[in-house]
Amino acid sequence: MAAPLALFFTAPLQVQVLPDESVCRPLAPDELRVQVQSSCVSTGTELLLYRGLLPADDALDATITGYETVKNTGTTHYPTKYGYCACGRVTETGAAAEAAAWRERQVLALAPHAAEVIVRAKDVLLELDTVSTPLRERILHCPLLVPAVETCLSLLHDAAPLVGDRVGVVGAGFYGVLLAACLHTSLPQNALCIVEKQAARRQVLEGLLVGGPRLVTLHPDLESVRQSGVAHTCDVVIDMSGTPAGLNTALQMVQRSGRVVLGSWLGHAAASVPVPALGSARLHRSHAQIVFSQVSELPPHLSMRYDKRRRLDMGLHLLEQMKDAVGALCSQVVRASIGDAPAMFAALCRGTLDGIVRFDYRP
């Protein structure tokens, strides 16, 4: 029987769909074999890996089984599989009682783009059979919703906006729109200032965030922010742009003793564009904070009260509440066969494709 296909990042600007012999083995006691139906591309980290911009001095992800040992061999991470939102059905389980209970369940797992994956039971992010039917259908259509909403909650926990704070969001891609919707749903009285250069993305937000110009303002660039009088007035700014230029904008939006939260991993792109705001006298005297946020681990100040299950449950509750935003994001899904992956990644890298790419593995 032929080995199932998987997507391999083989070099900068190069991916290949190849047979994956690594899954043709017996399972360990705590492992599950999942027949994948679909997986989504999360463009932040995956495009850094595709472009060759990931630092090669550490594991791809020290908290996810299978990625914690994928380190460089001197200068590169290649070749490797990557991805972390695959939906499928458990077809085989290991001998452990905990693993055996997963047989035939429909799951979303932290796993790479592949027709078949082996994961540990603890790396199952969500059992889809336990989710309400309408939301389950949305998740099956766009698996990225689940890790994305978990990331948004992680960002909000690190940003810690107070009721009444003016909150800035720089970048309104998939994650930025979802973050803005989470903010607007959970803190509807807070003023929200969003910067996004693409007009089509701003139009999506205009239809979702209702509250009038006092509460929600949309801007194409920093100059628009300045002209509106919002520069230097945000209590909290969350940078979702994934670019040094976006960070520069965020720093010029935050006010004295405010907080800027970095929601993106810049990788080697951090060296490509200067961030002149870091040298400003205003920020030097401002006592503003820059916070690095990452969803894989709970921050120390929450770890005694929260766990990932509690955070994910809250994220699912928010997805239930944000039907319009979830519907708008699901409409951006672009379906493709896994065999089309090289063309899809090339288009995402060029910026000629702005949708959420979903790879399908079975009819």
pLDDT in tens, 298-345: 888 888 898 989 999 999 999 999 999 999 999 999 999 999 999 999
d(CA 126, CA 352): 32
CA 196 remoteness from chain centre: 17
Task: Provide CB contacts within 8 A for 194, sequence distance 6+.
Answer: 168, 169, 170, 172, 176, 180, 202, 205, 209, 216, 217, 218, 219
Confidence of residue 191 (pLDDT cuts 50, 70, 90): very high
In the chain, what are the domain boundaries?
5-130+332-360, 147-292
Confidence of residue 72 (pLDDT cuts 50, 70, 90): very low
* pTM reported for the whole predicted model: 0.91
Residue 181 is given by DSSP the state H
Which pLDDT tens digit goes with each residue over 117-168? Answer: 999 988 899 999 999 999 999 999 999 999 999 999 999 999 999 999 999 9
Orientation of helix 145-159 relative to helix 323-330, angle to 10°? 130
Instruction: Report whether 325 contacts 346 (CB < 8 A).
Output: no
Phi, psi (rounded to 5 degrees) for 74: 120, -55
Q: Would 5-130+332-360 and 147-292 be classified into the same CATH topology? A: no
d(CA 278, CA 282): 9
Mean pLDDT of the chain: 89
Which residues on adjacent β-strands are paired with residue 36?
A: 88
pLDDT score recorded for residue 150? 94
pLDDT score recorded for residue 135? 95
Instruction: Report whether 125 contacts 108 (CB < 8 A).
Output: yes
Phi, psi (rounded to 5 degrees) for 104: 70, 5
Q: Please check the confidence at residue 17 and state whether its pLDDT lies above 90.
A: yes
CATH superfamily, domain 147-292, is NAD(P)-binding Rossmann-like Domain (3.40.50.720)
How do beta strands 356-360 and 31-40 pair?
Answer: antiparallel
Domain range 5-130+332-360, its CATH number among 3.90.180.10, 3.50.50.60, 3.40.190.10, 3.40.630.30: 3.90.180.10
Residue with tokens 């904070």: 289
d(CA 184, CA 339): 39
Amino acid at residue number 93: T
d(CA 316, CA 16): 34
Confidence of residue 99 (pLDDT cuts 50, 70, 90): confident
Which pLDDT tens digit goes with each residue over 30-56? Answer: 999 999 999 999 988 899 999 998 877
